[in-house]
Amino acid sequence: MSSSWKRVFLIGMIAAVAAIVAGSVSQHASARSSSSKADTLTIMGFGTGDDVAKSRTAIAVKALGSTNVKNPNGGFNDQQFLAALAGGDPPDLVYIDRQKVGTYAAKGAFVPLTSCVKSEKINTKQYRQAALKEVTYKGKLYGIPEFYSVRTIIANNDVLKESKVKLADLNTKDWKTLKQATKKLVKIEGGKVTRIGFDPKLPEFFPLWAKANGVDIISKDGLHAQLNSPKAIQALQYAVSLINLQGGWGKFKSFRDTFDFFGAGNQYAKDQLGAFPIEDFYYAVLARTSPQVHISALPFRTRKGKPINYETGSAWAIPKGSKNAKDACLWMKTMTKPSTWLVAAKNRAAARKAAHDVYTPLSTANAVADAQIYKTTYTPINKYFDEGVKTVQGVEKYSFYIPASPASAEFKTAWTDAVGRVLAGSQSVKAALNQGQKEAQTAINKAK
């Protein structure tokens, strides 16, 4: 290569490297400068979503006035959020599962909302207390709760009638009767399960079974796992026994996996299920896909007979380093205000009516909003679904929550894995929960 070519090559390489470096620096700088402007609100994890989200977003955007709202589609993604944090450019506001709030709060990734609540005069009393406590860590509020999932038992009246089982027999207070009812409801033909009698919904509803038996699987401060307490062990032993008398986990789950859960041929429409506890959104699914099904709704009950609800849901939180915490706070307040929820509910009810579609009321973490929504927008569907809606409303006040923990992901994995080992037959209930307890407590101790 001649010396002139060498020079051209070297200059070219230097120019290319300089261009790349300059490009990345300017991009970084422009990203910083644009997001550092107080007239932009960057949101992560929400998106424009469904009609309810759109209605509420329109109101919140209006409330923010001239502020430019960046609200890209897609749910909250831990890796994306961590990468943004590591890059020093976190979003101004995140929409996240309430169970994750404690972990991020413990690591200092979210800021307490004390000053936000004070400056925007947010009335925290309007929110459901279980949801509010779920996003409270070490006495400080880190999130504003949004939706609110309620878990009740939905029974299939036709299957009950065919099996000569009374609705009252599906009372989780009376374990012996429930077991007998399950035996009558289940159908096993040619060694295969063709109908599940009563599905205890393991592993995901283990906290509900434990609480109904009188124990929280983690202490109120979120720092002490209680997975291997005698009552938790007893609860899991019972719930697993329900599966074992319905063919065992292999047959049970492989049949359950065949359910057309969100379709017109769902397990109620096809009489493939006697009853199971499920989140309230499922009433809306059934009402839209198979309004002809004959269902009954029952509250899950403690061993003493009191209704009980395992609540979960989403929340808004402000990350540390948010460049527009003021607008983030106003956004959270506006999105969760009763008047905003009501507009969204009215819009949905009108849209459904116009499409001759079924409307079921929204279930939010704002008790005031829920009361207004029900009163203003709900029109009866049929006696089965109306009863379901009433049951959901009736159990909302009996809610419990899994307290915020500095290691919520590890804690959840520990108990889910433990239940999984029992179901797979790898371990006894006691051994599995002992191992789960050890794993969970070790993770919490490391994180706190």
The contact set with another protein (CB under 8 A) reads 1-2, 5-6, 9, 13, 78-79, 82, 85-86, 104, 107-109, 191-193, 203-204, 249-251, 253-255, 257-258, 261, 407, 409-410, 412-413, 416-417, 419-421, 423-426, 443
Our CB check for another protein shows the closer of 196 and 286 to be 196
- Strands 151-156 and 273-279, by their bridges, are antiparallel
Q: In angstroms, what is the minimal distance from the CB of 257 to another protein?
A: 5
What tokens appear for 281 in the block?
């959104």
Our CB check for another protein shows the closer of 230 and 425 to be 425
407/400 Cα distance (integer angstroms) = 19
Long-range contact pairs involving 265-271 (C-beta distance under 8 Å, separation at least 24): 266/290, 267/196, 268/154, 268/156, 268/293, 268/295, 269/293, 271/156, 271/158, 271/159, 271/162, 271/195
Our CB check for another protein shows the closer of 86 and 355 to be 86
Our CB check for another protein shows the closer of 48 and 262 to be 262
137/106 Cα distance (integer angstroms) = 8
Quote the longest CA-to-CA distance of the chain: 97
Q: In angstroms, what is the minimal distance from the CB of 416 to another protein?
A: 3
Our CB check for another protein shows the closer of 112 and 214 to be 112
43/358 Cα distance (integer angstroms) = 32
109/318 Cα distance (integer angstroms) = 9
Our CB check for another protein shows the closer of 105 and 369 to be 105
Q: In angstroms, what is the minimal distance from the CB of 282 to another protein?
A: 15
Q: Half-sphere exposure (CA, 13 Å, Cβ side) for 181?
A: 24
Q: In angstroms, what is the minimal distance from the CB of 41 to another protein?
A: 22
- Cβ 409 vs Cβ 103: under 8 Å: yes
Q: In angstroms, what is the minimal distance from the CB of 191 to another protein?
A: 8
167/152 Cα distance (integer angstroms) = 14
Q: In angstroms, what is the minimal distance from the CB of 230 to another protein?
A: 23
- Cβ 437 vs Cβ 225: under 8 Å: yes
Q: In angstroms, what is the minimal distance from the CB of 326 to another protein?
A: 23
Our CB check for another protein shows the closer of 207 and 299 to be 207
